[in-house]
Amino acid sequence: MLTAVPAPYADSEARMNELRDPLDATIVFVDDEPVNLTLLGKILERAGYRRLVPCGDPRAAPGLLTEHDADLLITDLHMPEMDGLELISTVTRTRSADDWFPIAVITADVSPDAERDALSRGAKDFITKPFRATQIELRVENLLRTRILHEALRRHVDHLEELVRERTFELETARLDLLERLALAAEFRDYVTGRHTQRVGELCGLLAEQLGLPAPEVDLLRRAAPLHDVGKIGIPDAILLKPGRLDEDEFRTMREHVDVGVRLLAQGQSELMVLAEKVALTHHERWDGSGYPRGLSGDDIPLVGQIVAIADVFDTLINARPYKPAWKLETAIAEIRRKSGRWFSPRIVEAFMTVLADQPELLARLERESWEDAQNGRPIGPPFAAGNAF
């Protein structure tokens, strides 16, 4: 059975075949001698061309080309007001590189220099007088057919580029969608409302912006940060949902969510996955070296890990968890300040305070969501003992 041509390509082929009739093309022709203009007009009219724009003053020609959206310029060379060569240069300079616009010269000047000059400035054809009418008809038709084919080719390329853009956008959207859902899947294990990961991403973006990171890096971190706890997928329910305080062994297992997350995200091919892996690995490190898994301290902790650490702890504090009620904003802010220089980089704590101070509407929304989640979000399992989260 024959395979049908895929629709987009069939469509492109159809577009390729939509060629204009050359007789519908617009031709501007320039000559300072009225008799020459009349003669050329008659030849073109007899050939069937319907859109003819005669021009006796070369200085007006560039404007006429634009005004009539012309497809061809025919010009004399030696004219008192403006030299034909100058006109060719002016016109070619103003056309875009991908617009194949034909210019033909008709002249009594048979010198090789004139022909070379005209062609080197961008003329596509050079016809010397005396000429036969059929010669003009054939040359004009050739030039117009070439222009029309170029147009069709350009439409075809534009169309294919648009298809590639659409497909790339779809793929990118699907990829980001999957990553968001992966982050949510991990969050749903122990916290059902699912907005924590989004807020951590948002807070990290604002904080990165405040710290002066370039916009593409800010955007990347905003998308990567929600994956910080993706490794919780690999933590057994008995530990993740255990009531009461975790013992030392259980806490060791709980800490393995970092390692699981890194293994899940490892060897990513995209910038986003590489950054998400770095975030998963370093979001529990602490400024004073008391964090895990590697006990890094100070600026040995990658900046993105330092940023996510603050956003993650802050959002956890101001929201209810199975093991604790939501803290008031002021108390959580004071706690972040208290941990400055211990858990968190003082510089980033200061930037975080600026973000919160500058955005009262953000604080109001965080407070509202915290209240809504406490009403609607049903924490899974019995209450944890305080301290299991960090």
User: Residue 289 and residue 275: Cα distance in Å, rounded?
Assistant: 22
Please, which residue, 70 or 254, has the CB nearer to Fe ion? Answer: 254
Please, which residue, 75 or 197, has the CB nearer to Fe ion? Answer: 197
Q: Which residues here bind Fe ion, judged by CB under 5 A?
A: 229
Least Å from the CB of residue 254 to Fe ion: 9
Is-contact 260 281, C-beta < 8 A? Answer: no
Count Cβ atoms below 10 Å from residue 122 Cβ, excluding itself: 16
Least Å from the CB of residue 190 to Fe ion: 11
Least Å from the CB of residue 239 to Fe ion: 14
Give the residue ranges of DSSP H helices in the chain: 7-17, 34-47, 61-67, 84-94, 112-120, 133-188, 196-210, 215-224, 237-240, 248-265, 271-282, 303-317, 329-338, 346-358, 360-376
Please, which residue, 36 or 197, has the CB nearer to Fe ion? Answer: 197
Least Å from the CB of residue 228 to Fe ion: 6
Least Å from the CB of residue 284 to Fe ion: 6
Q: Burial, 18: exposed, middle or buried (Cβ in 10 Å; 0-12, 13-18, 19+)?
A: exposed
Q: In terms of Cα–Cα distance, which of 154, 145, 153 is closest to 72? A: 145
- Reading the block at residue 317, the tokens are 């504090």
Please, which residue, 202 or 229, has the CB nearer to Fe ion? Answer: 229
Q: Which residues are CB-neighbours of 272 under 8 A, at least 6 positions away?
A: 176, 179, 220, 223, 224
Burial 34-63 (b: 16+ CB within 10 A, else e): eebbeebbebbeebebeebbbbeebeebbe
Please, which residue, 139 or 196, has the CB nearer to Fe ion? Answer: 196
The one-letter amino acid code at 256 reads E
Least Å from the CB of residue 3 to Fe ion: 50
Please, which residue, 229 or 315, has the CB nearer to Fe ion? Answer: 229
Least Å from the CB of residue 272 to Fe ion: 19
| Helix, strand or coil, per DSSP, at residue 307 | helix
Is-contact 316 373, C-beta < 8 A? Answer: no
User: Residue 102 and residue 106: Cα distance in Å, rounded?
Assistant: 13
Cα dihedral 81, 84, 86, 88, rounded to 10, equals 140
Please, which residue, 100 or 292, has the CB nearer to Fe ion? Answer: 292
Tell me the residue number closest to Fe ion, measured at CB: 229
Please, which residue, 205 or 291, has the CB nearer to Fe ion? Answer: 291
Least Å from the CB of residue 267 to Fe ion: 21
Is-contact 296 284, C-beta < 8 A? Answer: no
DSSP character string of 354-381: HHHHH-HHHHHHHHHHHHHHHHH---SS
Please, which residue, 190 or 229, has the CB nearer to Fe ion? Answer: 229
Least Å from the CB of residue 383 to Fe ion: 19
Angle in degrees, CA 162, 166, 167, rounded to 5:
120
Least Å from the CB of residue 234 to Fe ion: 12
Q: Which residues are CB-neighbours of 225 under 8 A, at least 6 positions away?
A: 200, 201, 204, 205, 279, 304, 307, 308, 311
